[in-house]
Structure 1
Amino acid sequence: MQEDFFELIKQALLVKISHRGLKFGMCSIMNVKSGKCSEDCAFCAQSARHTTNAPVFGLKSKEEILRHAQRAKELGATHFSLVASGRGPTQSELAEVIEAIKYLKDRVDIKICASLGIIDEDGLRALKEAGLSRYHHNIETSREYFPTICSTHTFEERINTIKSIKNVGLECCSGCILGIGETKKDRISIAETLKEIGVDSVPINILVPIEGTRLGGKPSSITPLEVIETIALFRHTLKTPAIRLAGGREEGLGDFQALAFMAGADALMIGGYLTTPGRDPELDLRLKRDAIEFWKRFRDNAEK
């Protein structure tokens, strides 16, 4: 079993090097609207159906968003995402986000992304015309397990949004959250679905149980080594997209974060998350440098 595990990791890294070279992506997100979400996702602190300490506020000003985008650029991020709570944006919210995107495009050299929930093609097209590069919309878990964690919208609604993202020519960022009770079979199903719909970036989140949510009283159901195994399985299935460590990586992986980049991961979300802080960005920048150096040595050795 141990030999199989290490061979899986080795082969996953070979796939990463072969299909993506030494690329290491860095992105940052900003919580531009928080709380009072109508949906009942079991893990989410921002659901109006949960009682948590998550902040509640409306859309941030474009000036404040700019300050965060500039900081993300300083940290080395190539993508900066505006994330808003809710099932989807109202027309007035969409107009404000479009104005913010235009404002950012004129003032900071960074690719702008957005995560605004379920949205139609007209809205996505307007975002793209404003300068949006990528839209984020996680599938969260497998098709089979999804009804267990959310009852207020369906898995197909998420898939249809992703199809709309692709239809208008935007890049698509879509991934999952691990440790919410899913099985290994579910994790394989997630990877296969993401391959089928052709996403460009795959964020992998790990559950941080938040008091007041439906999963708040349950520890993450995945161990650090199972996360590493899942990353390797994802890389074998998803050969060309970025595989990005995102929320919960500090708690879910602990001292094993570096091993994720030996198992096929090659991107990182830095600077904190929506309702939980991240670690010191300097540690992440050091991790990036060390991972690239490891990949170089691995590649050179494999080519001998």
Structure 2
Amino acid sequence: MSLNTEDCLSIARGIITGSPPDLKTLHDICETPDDDVFNLLAGADLIRNFYQGKKINLCTICNAKSGKCSENCGFCPQSAFHQTQIENYGLLGKEELTQIPKRLSGSHVNRYSVVTSGRGLSSDEVDLVAQAFLSLEGKRLSYCASLGIIQDQDFDVLKNAGVTRYHHNLETAESHFKKICTTHTFKDRIDNIKRAQKAGFEICSGGIFGIGETNSQILELALELKRLDIDAVPLNFLSPIPGTPMEGLSKLTPLKCLKIIALFRYVLPEKDIIICGGRQLNLKQLVPFMFHAGANGIMTGNYLTTQGASLEDDIEMIIQLGFEALV
């Protein structure tokens, strides 16, 4: 079934009034052809405006430990299994970890995350990261950590250091996961998220698209995140890196990216949807439409191994579109 604009607005009104779409309708959204994607945006924009208004969240990250990762995720240039040209270095020190938040504490950026490569940090390394966060006490920013699969006591250490959100992507649907990674399981990721939730953290978890997944698997991932009651959902679009198994795989169009964003808004109406890596490369001239597709947050600045937009350019775009950067 092809959905027209009024169909999409009707679905959105149902969501707002407590009648979410059934699975068939969600599959219809998944299969919407590129020519009809702007029909989806009408409803997604209505949902985003109802739950999040015009305020846009901005977050930024520090790539605190780069490369030589023991995991073999096929899209990732940081894997030790792939021959890429990225910079490799161990965990940064306290002073380096606090440079970005000190510089941005008076800006429109409202969340800062420390991100590290590898299966997970050791307890000693988690302690170092926690000490860096503790030294930032009194800054306006909220803090997030993305340190891989860690121990229960490590979550407690981070919590006591003022970290409020833990990031751990599912990356893709369970039915597709073994095609992108075999050194750990989808269940390992789910278990880590549940332990972080049990420790009292908000959870930031999403995925990356353009890695060979089907439309149905995109929906499968969205529904899994809904089942887990994830708080914030980062959406990444593959930037093919030479030397990785997926360097030539991405076949995303800008309209396909907008459809993915819109689908996640229909499935997760009340959650933060944050557009992260690959937005410039994949959305191209349609980048500003990501908000009308349902996004209410973006990662600003550089990503882990690729360049992003500057904070100044992102703020200017937000203002020009009639949105407001959250303070």
Displacement of 1:120 after TM fit? 2.8
Contact 2:45 2:294 in 1 (8 A): yes
Alignment of 1:271-290 (within 5 A): 271-290=301-320
- CA distance 1:50–1:237, change in 2 (3 Å): same
Query: Aligned residue for 1:59?
Result: 91
Gaps of 5+ in 1: 295-304
- Three-state SS of the structure 1 residue aligned to 2:104 is helix
Higher alpha-carbon deviation: 15-24 or 172-181 = 15-24
Query: Aligned residue for 1:27?
Result: 59
**Among residues 284, 297, 304, which one is paired with 1:254 in the alignment?**
284
Query: CA offsets per residue over residues 26-58 of structure 1, 9 Å max, x none?
Result: 000000111111000001111111111111111
Contact 1:28 1:72 in 2 (8 A): no
Displacement of 1:7 after TM fit? 2.8
**Among residues 43, 47, 70, which one is paired with 1:11 in the alignment?**
43
- Three-state SS of the structure 1 residue aligned to 2:174 is coil
| One-letter code aligned to 1:103 | S
The sequence identity of aligned pairs, in percent, is: 41
TM-score scaled by length of structure 2: 0.86
- Three-state SS of the structure 1 residue aligned to 2:307 is coil
Displacement of 1:206 after TM fit? 0.5
CA distance in 1, matches of 2:187, 2:3: 38
Contact 1:72 1:80 in 2 (8 A): no
Q: Is 1:86 equivalent to 2:110 in the alignment? A: no
Equivalenced residues, count: 292
Gaps of 5+ in 2: 5-35
- Three-state SS of the structure 2 residue aligned to 1:205 is strand
Q: Is 1:188 equivalent to 2:196 in the alignment? A: no
- Three-state SS of the structure 2 residue aligned to 1:24 is strand
Query: Aligned residue for 2:16?
Result: none
CA distance in 2, matches of 1:276, 1:268: 15
Contact 1:146 1:155 in 2 (8 A): yes
CA distance in 1, matches of 2:219, 2:211: 15
Displacement of 1:82 after TM fit? 0.3
Query: Aligned residue for 2:246?
Result: 215
CA distance in 2, matches of 1:72, 1:256: 27
CA distance in 1, matches of 2:224, 2:169: 11
- Three-state SS of the structure 1 residue aligned to 2:203 is strand
Query: Aligned residue for 2:255?
Result: 225
CA distance in 2, matches of 1:231, 1:279: 19
| One-letter code aligned to 2:62 | M
CA distance in 2, matches of 1:170, 1:281: 27
